[in-house]
Amino acid sequence: MGNRLTKIYTRTGDDGSTGLGDGSRVAKNHLRVEAYGTVDELNAHVGVLRAELAQDHAAQAFLQDVQHDLFDLGGELCIPGYVLLNTEAISEAEAAIDQLNAQLPPLKDFILPGGSKAAAVAHVARTVCRRAERRVYTLSQQEPVNEEGLKYLNRLSDYLFVLARVLARENGGQEVLWRQRNAPRHPDA
């Protein structure tokens, strides 16, 4: 996949363009660049989450696989027509969600991001994952993309939500439930 960089600065992007993996050049704010850039940002947040967890934490191995999957997805998005991600990654995410969710009581209230530092970091990763999903979807309305990537991001945001719930409850902690301060009213009232 592509050439390895031996020189970090190339000056080729000084004009506001960047190279895709197929050799073509596009503006740095192109939908494709926005999509893979946000997937890259998500990967960095997952790395921060992993750094927050103990090395022997049960989620470490899956999150490392997630980082590889996100790198593959970024590669797909950087090289139009390239496919790396498949349904296996989606199935693995669903199995991981089911395994974590089995430990939790049913969710009856909205929860606020927090509960512990690790849970808050998982919530940040979840929100960036949702943004990545929106960026890839927007791209898919203009150009073909692998639909498995969209499905994977959707499952990953669910996984990160459930993981945040688990992390908030670890070591005797608890989730922070949303409390409604004001009764809803119609804007015309």
Tell me the pLDDT tens digit for each residue of 75-99: 999 888 889 998 999 999 999 999 9
Mean pLDDT to the nearest integer, 17-26: 66
pLDDT-wise least confident of 6-10, 89-93, 108-112: 6-10
pLDDT value of position 18:
65
Q: Which two tokens stand for residue 81?
A: 């027509």
Residue 110, pLDDT above cutoff 80: yes
In order of their start, the domains of the chain are: 17-177 (1.20.1200.10)
CA distance 69 to 84: 9
CA distance 132 to 150: 9
pLDDT value of position 181:
79
Q: Express as a percent the part of the chain with pLDDT over 90.
A: 66
Nearest residue to 116 (alpha-carbon basis) of 159, 52, 180, 162: 52
**Inter-helix orientation angle 31-52/117-140, to 10°:** 160
CA 6 to chain centre: 29
* Mean pLDDT, the chain, integer: 88
Nearest residue to 160 (alpha-carbon basis) of 125, 189, 134: 125
Residue 20, pLDDT above cutoff 70: no
CA distance 55 to 136: 31
Radius of gyration in angstroms for the set of CA atoms belonging to the chain, rounded to a whole number: 19
